[in-house]
Structure 1
Amino acid sequence: MDEREANGGGVAADDERATGDGTARGEDAKRAGGSAHDTVEAAVRAQLAKALGGVRGMVEAAVPTIAFTTAYVASKDVRLAAGIGVGAAVLLLLVRIAQRSTPQFVLNSLVGIAIAAFFALRSGRAEDAFVPGILLNAAYAVGMIFSIAVRWPVVGFIIGSVTGDPTGWRSDPGVVRLCTRLTWLLAVPNVLRVAVQYPIYLADGDQSALLGPAKIVMGWPLQVAALAAMVWLLARGRTPLSPPRTSA
């Protein structure tokens, strides 16, 4: 097996003194600030998968929200919808507990359902259940677009977390351009959700029958489409991933 394969694709600056022990070289690379990836694209793919929990994490985040929204549109009963959404989340949570794996993404859904129910119950207006989602998407969109405008695209910090140098990626214009494109792809779904859902919310009358389907269609499917575009972009390039620079 090639030495880089034995080390999981890690930094191979000391090939001449390699002993053939992939594990030992992996430890050396970690102490030197290296990573298990030799390109920016590979590092970003791995970190995005970790942050989103893979396919299972995305499903766990989506299912309780879809259950809540569907029940809410059908019944117009916030308590019933919240109960159905929480019930779906609890089932997923029990599976996670039984498998002794992280329940992070299920808990995120529970928090979202609780906040949406609170808004609707507090105001007595059905469509207010969708306000937290609109506000959250607006905040994400503003934050990511601002990071692009000041040339600190948020995806760059994913690379920084891999190399151990939070800001070193900015010294490479090619990496900054890649991170900018990826950040735009993350921002677009948030912008579209606000652009579509906020005008519906402002319209006269109870708009929950429109907001519910809009939230479902522009939720998980739109996010998956954005991630697919990111994967496609990442698959096209092989930007070298440099370890953090050390001062002389």
Structure 2
Amino acid sequence: MSAADVTATHAAHDTVEAALRAQLSKALGGMRGIIEAAVPTIAFTAMWVGTSELKLSLIVSIATAVVLLLVRLVQRSTPQFVINSLIGIAIGAFFATRSGDAKDYFLPGILYNAVYAGAMLLSIVTRWPVLGFLIGSVTGDPTAWHKDPGLVRLCSKLTWLLMLPCLVRVLVQLPLYMFDQVVTLGLTKIALGWPLQVAALAAMVWVLARGRTPIQSTG
């Protein structure tokens, strides 16, 4: 983050908590981002239920994501969230095509959530919670927050809340994957996707609403 960005952040928010709430809210991409992330999975699951054709289901899912991307480009709005979704779909399609098994469409997501949860847990155990670096982006110093035990505790709580959705997805979806429950995998991917992330964000915002830590530029 540049000095100008830090100055703008200071002007808009007078506490670390307020700045973090604003940045976390942006991370989801709003209601449109939530819908764009869910629609391709809904398309894949619906097509699989209707036809049991893996190739057709993959084509419809990818085509849906591409259409959403084109709409974003035509409207000249940020395509970030659609691109993220499209990359995930493409990786899932690659796995499923290689194995010929529809359940493998969901395997990359399960692995991603497992690795993400493991990395966040490690950051908490080592007392360098990943959310601390978001504070660093706000204050202009990536590591100064670590000198404040109160901020370390706050960031650990926030990182736990960020980690829980990933952990829940793995615990729910991995058994379904192992027992070849393709339709249920699709439904749980939708239900445990952005809705669960929104719930985690709401909990994080509630935690942040209780604090008043002044922003201090260290850059």
Q: TM-score, normalised by structure 1?
A: 0.79
Q: CA deviation at 1:146?
A: 0.5
RMSD: 2.3
Change (3 A) 1:155 1:195: same
Change (3 A) 1:228 1:29: closer
The higher radius of gyration belongs to: 1
Change (3 A) 1:28 1:62: closer
Q: CA deviation at 1:215?
A: 1.4
Change (3 A) 1:222 1:149: same
Q: Aligned partners of 2:51 and 2:115: how far apart in 1?
A: 30
Q: CA deviation at 1:214?
A: 1.8
Change (3 A) 1:154 1:29: closer
Change (3 A) 1:194 1:98: same
Tell me the alpha carbon deviations over residues 98-141 of structure 1, each in whole angstroms, 9 at most, x when there is no partner.
22121111011111111111111111222111111110000110
Q: TM-score, normalised by structure 2?
A: 0.89
Name the counterpart of 1:237.
211
Q: Aligned partners of 2:87 and 2:61: how far apart in 1?
A: 11
Change (3 A) 1:73 1:150: farther
Tell me the alpha carbon deviations over residues 64-88 of structure 1, each in whole angstroms, 9 at most, x when there is no partner.
2332233334432222222222232
Name the counterpart of 2:201.
227
**Contact kept in structure 2, 1:40 and 1:159, CA below 8 Å:** yes
Bigger proportion of residues as helix: 2
Give the share of equivalent positions with the same residue, in percent. Answer: 63
Query: 5+ residue gaps in structure 1?
Result: 1-25
Residue 38 of structure 1: SS of its match in structure 2?
coil
Q: 2:189 is matched by which residue type in structure 1?
A: K
Change (3 A) 1:74 1:193: farther
Change (3 A) 1:151 1:73: farther
Q: Aligned partners of 2:127 and 2:30: how far apart in 1?
A: 28
Name the counterpart of 1:52.
28
Residue 243 of structure 1: SS of its match in structure 2?
coil
Change (3 A) 1:211 1:172: same
Change (3 A) 1:129 1:73: farther
Q: Aligned partners of 1:41 and 1:213: how far apart in 2?
A: 35
Q: Aligned partners of 1:167 and 1:120: how far apart in 2?
A: 41
Change (3 A) 1:244 1:107: same
Q: 1:63 is matched by which residue type in structure 2?
A: V
Q: Aligned partners of 2:83 and 2:160: how far apart in 1?
A: 27
Name the counterpart of 1:163.
139
